[in-house]
Chains A and B, each alone.
Chain A
Amino acid sequence: MKNEKINEAYNSYVEARIPKTKAWPSLFNSFWVGGLICLIGQGINDLIIYIFPSMSQQSAWAWTLIILIFLASLLTGLGVYDKIGKFAGGGSIVPITGFSNSIASPAIEYKHEGIIYGTCVKMFSIAGPVIVTGIVASIVVGIIYFIIGLF
């Protein structure tokens, strides 16, 4: 039998005792690592334009993303990205490199369950919700855009 009152009292007691994450140091580390990743991205973009002056900005952006995604996957495989993530938290999760890490890490983790049931099935187990949210949001925005266009 669950006793709602005891549970409520216990939960609020526990809540009061929980050690809190130190917000400012975590935010600081998130901020500068996240900023550094963006700076590296901008640097790659500028370098591409410098080496290939005839390339369109659109293509340069695409190449920048590809390079960032590759680098993050490589660092994941080398066992470095999880250490960056432990230090920087959101700073290394939010940029596209974090997305790359969230796909590469289950791909590595589940390779022993086979290519289909392991790698392929589990690959999107963490990034999946992000992709679904993105697609659903774009559908909603598309419908709104369509309705506005009618008037």
Chain B
Amino acid sequence: MQTIEFKSKPKIIGSYSIVGPKEGKGPFGSFFDYVMKSDGFGEKTYEMAERKMFEQAVTGAIQNAGLHSGDIDLLLAGDLLNQIISSSFTARAYEFPYLGVFSACSTMAESLATGAILINAGHFHNVACATGSHFSTAERQFRFPLELGNQRVPTSQWTATAAGACVLSLEGEGPVVSMATFGKVIDYGITDVNNMGAAMAPSAADTIYTHLNETGRKPSDYDLILTGDLGKLGAEILIDLLEGRGVKLGPNYSDCGHCYYSRKQDTMCGASGCGVSASVLNSYIIKKLKAKKFKRILFVPTGALMSTTATQQGESIPGISHAIVLEAGGD
């Protein structure tokens, strides 16, 4: 079994999302807690800007939960930069313990699932979960300098400048994290780093299929099935792959990356990065769950476990996706 049910019903009692100016102009713009005026965020380097963004998300989530820093038992966080520096360096600003987690852009689900397990087992009361990404730091680590005059290919995606954080607890009000399905690492041999949607889609298909199989549920049992950052092409591939396995995704399926920017924003296949699913979850999704617009959601962030070294050595890109079931709760 890859699926776990959380009997004690851990809840998301506070959440916070922060995004860059470009992301703020996208369709989700009005749902985010904070839109930065510039990508630099008043810091000397973009790495420091990412960290500041991260810290604001964690602090904001704790405040929105009505708690103080001293009430938090643990921070679970990860990001895309080498040695997950944005998470680790953010953690040094706080007095609570920290566990670094990494599953690329599926990190939000990994931290939520791990947090829910720890709370469900009774080890901790309040666990903060966070992740984020920054366009400018990801570009320099994975691609080219910002000022280089090159063209993007049609399958490429735009790394979002965004971070999201939330606080899980047994006490208080909020959407319930009722289940989690941990995903397998799946690699169908895609080597093109400009086509991450195709690299990740098989893992999303496998996790969703396994989840439905193990729980005996159908896609229509969910008000929304939301993948992370497959983008336009990846989402289309996922629909195909699942159809091949006898699962038909309906209009209740959507992908955060695909609808993160407007068409005019010229991002080819859409958005990518940990911050995409994290910021959508901790703004739009949680607000809609609280308003009971959605009753039950399957949230499946998707990650491409690539490294520039492995890619240059000709290795293909493994994908991973973890799924979380979120319920409005309170009947």
A residues whose Cβ falls under 8 Å from a Cβ of B:
2, 6-8, 10-11, 13-14, 17-21, 26, 76-77, 79, 81-86, 88-89, 92-93, 98, 101-102, 104-106, 108-110, 112, 126
Contacts and interface: CB of A to CB of B under 8 A. Distances in A.
B149 A81 contact: yes
A123 to B, nearest CB: 10
Nearest to B146: A109
A117 B31 CA distance: 41
Contact of A7 (B147, B148, B189, B233): B189
Contact of A126 (B144, B152, B190): B144
B7 interface: no
B236 interface: yes
Given A10-B202, A14-B198, A106-B145, A85 B151 contact: yes
A131 to B, nearest CB: 16
Contacts of A105: 144-149
A86 B151 contact: yes
7 contacts: A11-B188, A77-B147, A79-B147, A82-B148, A85-B148, A106-B148, A110-B145
B153 A86 contact: no
Contact of A19 (B146, B152, B233): B233
Nearest to A87: B151
Given A105-B146, A105-B148, A18 B154 contact: yes
The 10 residue pairs across chains A and B that have the minimum distance between CB atoms: A85-B149, A7-B189, A109-B145, A105-B147, A105-B145, A10-B188, A19-B154, A105-B148, A14-B198, A89-B151
Nearest to A89: B151
A89 B237 CA distance: 29
Interface in B26-84: 44-45
A67 B1 CA distance: 67
Interface in B229-247: 233, 236-237, 240
Nearest to A108: B147
A93 B144 CA distance: 14
Interface string B98-141: 00000000000000000000000000000000000000000010
A37 B224 CA distance: 51
Contacts of A106: 145, 148
Contacts of B190: 10-11, 14
Given A7-B189, A89-B151, A126-B145, 15 more contacts: A2-B187, A14-B237, A17-B237, A18-B155, A20-B154, A21-B154, A26-B151, A82-B149, A85-B150, A105-B144, A105-B147, A106-B148, A109-B140, A109-B146, A112-B44
B183 to A, nearest CB: 17
Contacts of A76: 147, 149
A17 B150 CA distance: 24
A13 B149 CA distance: 31
B313 to A, nearest CB: 15
A8 B316 CA distance: 12
A2 B149 contact: no
A98 B151 CA distance: 13
Given A2-B187, A7-B189, A17 B146 contact: no
Contacts of A81: 147, 149
Nearest to A88: B149
Interface string B165-190: 00000000000000000000001111
A108 B145 contact: yes
Given A7-B188, A7-B189, A93 B202 contact: no
B195 interface: yes
A71 B108 CA distance: 45
A76 B145 CA distance: 11
Given A7-B189, A10-B202, A17 B236 contact: yes
Contacts of A14: 190, 195, 198, 237
B141 to A, nearest CB: 11
